[in-house]
Amino acid sequence: MRIFKGIAASEGLAKGKALVHHQASMVAEKQHILADGIAGELEKFRTALSTAKRTLEEHNVRDITKESKEILETHLMMLQDPEYIQQIEAYISTNLVCAQWAVDSVTTDMVALLEKTEDALLRERAVDFRDVSLYLIDAIKGKGSHRMENLDEDVILVADVLMPSELFAMDKTHVLGISLDGGGRASHVAILVRAFNIPTVLATGGASKTVKDGDEVIVDGTYGEVFVRPDLMVSQMLDERFELWQQYEVELHQMADLPSVTTDGHPVQLKANIQTSSEVDGIKALGACGIGLFRSEFLFMESLEHPSEQRQFEVYKQVVESMAPNPVTIRTIDIGGDKVVSGLGIDEKNPILGWRAVRFCLSRKDIFTIQLRALLRASVYGKLQIMFPMISGVEELNAVLHLLEHVKEECRTEHIPFDPNVKVGTMIEVPSAALCADILAKKVDFFSIGTNDLIQYTIAVDRGNEKIAYLYQPFHPGVLRSIKMIVEMAHQNNIPVSLCGEMASDPLCSVLLAGLGMDELSMGSQSLLQVRKILRSVSFEEAKQLADHVLGMDSYLTITTYIREWMHDRFDHITTI
């Protein structure tokens, strides 16, 4: 028996015979051509474009979920992107190579920008760019051999790489579970397997190299484990685990419509972090009382061209309308650093401390003002809030507020309706902003603490550097004291404060954050129900006592140990910490 640990991407338990799938089509064949062969290769490419579009459109007319539909539409948009098409055609003509090699080369250059980042969310988007090239390469080759459209028995699919295109095309009635060697929860593949309700484990490392066709495999998409050739004892244990999981799921979902309040009546609003409009229906079903962070930069990643004002407006409007009357906080473009977007000329030796987020926006007002106009236009359709990232001091805040007022005046002149009372806030993720929180609080309507960067900058540790990853500690006394100070400064100036970093998604942190005085926690949707259950099980007085106690401790090791024991004593039956 072999056990592979990975990322739990889609909950559930599945048992069956393995079907091993290795992705071979990703490698294009390189062939040089003569000058008189250019026209023929261009024609091959254009024919492949039409074929690939037709394949996507065929999938798009089926009875599919909203999330699946949006992924297909994104891929269709990429296939119609004039810049992408022009680059491939120019590559064929300039380098005298065949069409499939040109497609692969141009796409590889685009993907390289994303794969160099430390942000797992962005790295996973590279898979989707590759998927579009796969449609094209297969259409050029005329093979499509990697498709699994006709399966005559139930299987557990064990693969090294799986593309969204393959998920759409495969016979999903016979795929009971999926194990992938790579991937992450933010990828389109992960979104799709959840939409298709297929238990899935990602990032198993090398299961596909060990498993053979016909092997018995159990996929546990709840705990993130794959069992190959399990013995009888393990099979019985997993059957019991499945029954407990079902009971717990029922218990959690019963809380979707309940308020997030402590046992003594203190409210802590629970909101969701999203990056695409396709996630809205799911978070509403889980009882999120709003969106605390909409990462607008993902709009800039789905195409080689910058999204137009109209495109941005339509997306913002859709999200705001869908969530009304609950609020939607949209963060303005947060690119640079570990978020690389093609075509913007951001390539620095030290990007984490460089030209990023609001610094980029203030120097590229042509891009920034378009986004502000789109946001203001969408503000009349619900409760939209605008949030600026990586503000380091009052000078930057004054600059963006001044620009926002200028755009408002433009809208008034052009008789474009917008909410004149739209709320504006800033993220607190730079130590200088934390130390000046009392000054910044007088100029905005709310704070949102971005702990991912606040931890990184406070401790001076690159969170993408494996050599010093152990130093990246949310429970570092300096981090907790900063959070406490920010909350106090916000409340003294009568504005609410939210926390939207990964700490909010960690059940281990939930009681502590409530005790530190957080008004809101914004998190990944997978954590909403569990955090709500935890907060409804403790009193605010207990939470404050916990926070006060750990604030007096002198090391992250002591604090982490104490919080783990405190939480295990009370929540061992519902937390996996």
pTM: 0.67
> Are the C-beta atoms of 341 and 308 separated by less than 8 Å?
no
* pLDDT reported for residue 344: 53
Mean pLDDT of all residues in 551-572: 91
Q: What is the pLDDT of residue 338?
A: 45
Over residues 88-112, mean pLDDT: 91
Give the amino acid at 303.
S
| pLDDT computed for residue 454 by the predictor | 93
DSSP 96-156: TB-HHHHHHHHHHHHHHHHHTSS-HHHHHHHHHHHHHHHHHHHHHHT--TT-----SS-EE
Q: Which of 25-29, 105-109, 276-280, 440-444 has the highest mean pLDDT?
A: 440-444
Higher pLDDT, 462 or 475: 475
Instruction: Place 336 in a pLDDT band, splitting at 50, 70 and 90.
Output: low
For the chain, which residues make up each domain, given as ranges? 2-23+147-252, 35-141, 254-571
Q: Name every residue whose Cβ is closer than 8 Å to that of residue 241 and which is 6 or more positions away in sequence.
A: 13, 220, 222, 223
State residue 336 phi and psi, 5-degree precision: 90, 180
* Top mean-pLDDT range of 136-145, 339-348, 522-531: 522-531
Confirm if 178 and 202 have CB atoms less than 8 A apart.
Answer: no
pLDDT at 145 over 60: no
Residue 188 is a catalytic residue: yes
Which of 98, 289, 436, 500 does the annotation list as catalytic?
500
The pLDDT assigned to 326 comes to 96
What confidence score (pLDDT) does residue 387 get? 96
Please give the pLDDT value at position 18. 93
User: 337 pLDDT exceeds 60?
Assistant: no
Region 285-293: what's the mean pLDDT?
Answer: 94
Confirm if 208 and 22 have CB atoms less than 8 A apart: yes
Sorted by sequence, the CB contacts under 8 Å of residue 312 that are 6+ apart come out as 296, 299, 370, 371, 374, 375
Specify which of 37-51, 66-80, 108-122, 394-408 reaches the highest per-range mean pLDDT. Answer: 394-408
Structure confidence at residue 64 (pLDDT):
62
- 32 and 97 in contact (C-beta within 8 Å)? yes
Q: Is 204 within 8 Å of 179 (Cβ atoms)?
A: yes
The CATH architecture to which 254-571 belongs is: Alpha-Beta Barrel (3.20)
pLDDT at 45 over 60: yes
Which pLDDT band holds residue 161 (cuts at 50, 70, 90)?
confident
Percent of the chain surpassing pLDDT 70: 86
Specify the 3-state DSSP secondary structure of 402. helix
pLDDT-derived band at 450, boundaries 50, 70, 90: very high
Mean pLDDT for 362-382 is: 94
- Please tell me the distance from the alpha carbon of residue 489 to that of residue 500, in angstroms, as a whole number: 18
pLDDT in the model for residue 171? 81
pLDDT at 301: 66
Mean pLDDT taken over the chain: 86
- Out of 59, 188, 306, 476, the active site residue is 188
Q: Which residues contact 303 (CB under 8 A, 6 or more apart)?
A: 77, 78, 81
Which of 126-130, 491-495, 562-566 bottoms out in mean pLDDT, i.e. has the lowest? 126-130
What is the pLDDT averaged over residues 115-129? 66
CA pair distance 208, 190, nearest whole angstrom: 18
pLDDT at 342: 46
Residue scoring higher pLDDT (60 or 430):
430
Q: Which helix (H) or strand (E) holds 237?
A: helix 232-253
Reply yes or no on whether the pLDDT at 137 is more than 80. Answer: yes
CA dist., res. 104 & res. 256, Å (int): 45
Beta bridge partners of residue 330, listed in sequence order: 294, 386
Q: How many CB atoms lie within 10 A of CB 216?
A: 16
Confidence of residue 3 (pLDDT cuts 50, 70, 90): very high
Name 217's bridge partners: 16, 228
Dist. CA 126–CA 186, nearest whole Å: 11
Residue 59, classed as helix, strand or coil, is helix
Instruction: Place 377 in a pLDDT band, splitting at 50, 70 and 90.
Output: very high
- Would you say 447 and 490 are in contact if contact means Cβ atoms under 8 Å apart? yes
How far from 353 is each of 308, 356, 431, 552, 566, CA to CA, in Å?
28, 8, 13, 31, 37
- Burial classification of residue 62, based on how many CB atoms lie within 10 Å of its CB (0-12 exposed, 13-18 middle, 19 or more buried): exposed
Judged by average pLDDT, the poorest of 51-60, 214-223, 260-269, 403-412 is: 51-60
Residue 415's CB is within 10 A of a number of other CB atoms, namely: 6
Closest C-alpha among 267, 319, 313, 268 to residue 293: 319
Beta strand spans in 160-199 (E): 175-180
Q: Which residue has the higher pLDDT, 128 or 406?
A: 406
Architecture of domain 2-23+147-252: 3-Layer(bba) Sandwich (3.50)
SS3 338: coil
What is residue 72's predicted lDDT score, i.e. its pLDDT? 79
Residue 295, pLDDT above cutoff 80: yes
Higher pLDDT, 183 or 38: 38
Question: How sure is the predictor about 574, in pLDDT bands with cuts at 50, 70 and 90?
Answer: very low
The more confident residue out of 280 and 66 is 280
> What does the pLDDT read at residue 120?
57
* Average pLDDT of the segment spanning 309-326: 95
- Let me know how many helices (H) and strands (E) the chain has, helices first: 23, 16
> What is the per-residue pLDDT for 183?
76
Mean pLDDT of the 327-346 span: 68
Better-predicted residue by pLDDT, 545 or 56: 545
Q: How far apart are CA 216 and CA 484, in angstroms?
A: 52
Cα separation, 309 vs 521, whole angstroms? 30
CA dist., res. 254 & res. 529, Å (int): 9
Q: Which CATH architecture has domain 35-141?
A: Orthogonal Bundle (1.10)
Would you state the pLDDT for residue 63? 53
Which is higher by pLDDT, 245 or 175?
Answer: 175
- State the helix-helix crossing angle for 99-115 and 120-141, rounded to 10 degrees: 180
Distances in whole angstroms, Cα of residue 384 to Cα of each of 330, 429, 500: 7, 22, 17
User: In the chain, what percentage of residues exceed pLDDT 90?
Assistant: 52
**Catalytic: 500?**
yes
CA distance 407 to 401: 10
What single string gives the DSSP state of each residue in 500-540? -SHHHH-HHHHHHHHHTT-SEEEE-GGGHHHHHHHHTTS-H
In sequence order, what are the residues at sequence separation of 6 or more whose Cβ sits closer than 8 angstroms to the Cβ of residue 518?
268, 487, 497, 498, 499
Residue 571 has pLDDT above 90, yes or no: no
| pLDDT score at 143 | 55
Do 2-23+147-252 and 35-141 have matching folds? no
Using only the alpha carbons of the chain, give its radius of gyration.
25
Q: Is the pLDDT of residue 393 over 80?
A: yes
